Chain A
Amino acid sequence: MKSFSTARLLLATALLGTMLGIAGCAKEAVRYGDARGVETVTNEFGSTDLQMIAESMTRSMLNSPVLNATNAQAIVTVQEVKNKTSEYIDTRSITDSIRTELQKSGKVRFAVDSAEMKQQIEELQRQQSEYYDANKSAEVGKMVGAGYRLEGNITSIVKQAKEVKDVYYKFNLQLWNIQNGLLEWNDEKEIRKTTSKQ
Chain B
Amino acid sequence: MTNTTLSSASQDVLDDAGARRDSGILHVGIDLGTSRTSVSASNGARETLASYVGYPRDVVSRKLLKKDVVFGDEAIRHRLSLNLYRPLAHGVIDSADAARAEANQKAARDLIGEIVRRARPRPGDLVYAVIGAPAQATIRNKEAILEAAKESVDSVMLCSEPFSVAYGLEMLDEVLVVDIGAGTTDLCRMHGTMPEDDDQITNTFAGDFVDDEIMKALRIACPGAVFTKEMVKAIKEKHSSVMERIEPIVIELPVDGKPTKFDVTDAIRNSCRMIIPPLVEGLGKLVATFDPEFQSVLKNRVLLAGGGSRIPGLPLAIEAEMKSRLGAGKVIRVEEPIYGGANGALKIAQEMPDEFWAKLK
Partners in one complex: no
